Structure 1
């Protein structure tokens, strides 16, 4: 990717984080979700649409896919991507804690790495349950703990120190790592059958020299500590964090990529 000074956080997310991380993890999510032709699917916290685009061919032209996110810029970037075969995708801005959707409307609700960001997780879980038809299922993935992701642990530890902030302000993506907590949340939301499965995947990320830049800019799509910064503030942060983490990041370098494992918990709730 050519460096572009006007590249937005949502564009960085799609070109860098979505293609290297979200796309391969979507395949894992859908292997467990088992979408069927003709099903009605809701992709909550869809981001730029990795899950929506991959599930559309699986449910086919007789199916329906609604991609919902609270971030209008992510939706705009998602709409701009090539349309997949199968079901057409309807893109809609919306709040996961208060879905403006009818009950019993979907066969399958998918949420990849979004649940941990919701301000009221139980309310979001109840909304997922409400919009599912009887016998429907929700499949939700959340990252395992930051300690299981040493590259990101170094990145966010250094970032928190530069910002003089608690690490909880910057590592939101890893904030729902306890499978028992996830189980309890879904149980309180009204799901009766809940199975949580751990999964691990080896990731390769291009352009190692821009890992800090793209990770922080991509996180500005969802993490308030980064979203509240202007471009100059984020640039200054990137330069400081890059200097502090350069040697450690090089330890994950494999040729022209960074290579590392990521681990997630995937819940199937019915």
Structure 2
């Protein structure tokens, strides 16, 4: 009972995890408001339950050893959430600003990276025998990761940033169209949602910097403190999740959904 599994930085991840799980449960059981938006926001928050867990399992010094003793198959399961959280945030934003929002056929393309990653993990990890998994985990060193895994990580963060940019584009289009539909533009305040989207863009940009710092440190011997960048991202996520919960409860009702322009949406989704 005296074993210490978490340090101070780990507590930040645990608080983030707890907040997201609690609010997601609230949204899924709440009977009022836009049910579709609530469900999408809950799924987004659940992805942020998985992401801190993935970080704790892979990089928490004491907790990592604890999970290895339980089962090596737990590793990398929660990492799949990275490929979904940005997509879910995009769908949440769309559900707020468009009446009768529905997923389009083109939206399926946003799930392709997730499916490819699932296939990759099945072949590279889950089909490996138990003893090999234990050897890999017990001898793991960040510096000795294969180069292709760093490229996968960098692509993942670029994909998340891309989805964040799509969120900003959607908000800008909404703001332009809403001016034509409502005389009093002050009734429709986008500020809080823009702050959140930009905040998550900052997190994803920081994640790209972490990936580039790891490239620089381990491939080119130009040492950059990637651990500090990662910790800064963890603390920023906690702040943004807190802001997201507060503003979602307080101000989401100010949105006046507009009819989605199917032609514009199709054009946007086809952009690379």
Same-fold call, TM > 0.5?
no
Which protein has the bigger strand share? 1
Which protein has the bigger helix share? 2
TM-score between the two structures when normalised by the length of structure 1: 0.33
TM-score between the two structures when normalised by the length of structure 2: 0.33
Q: Which has the larger radius of gyration?
A: 2
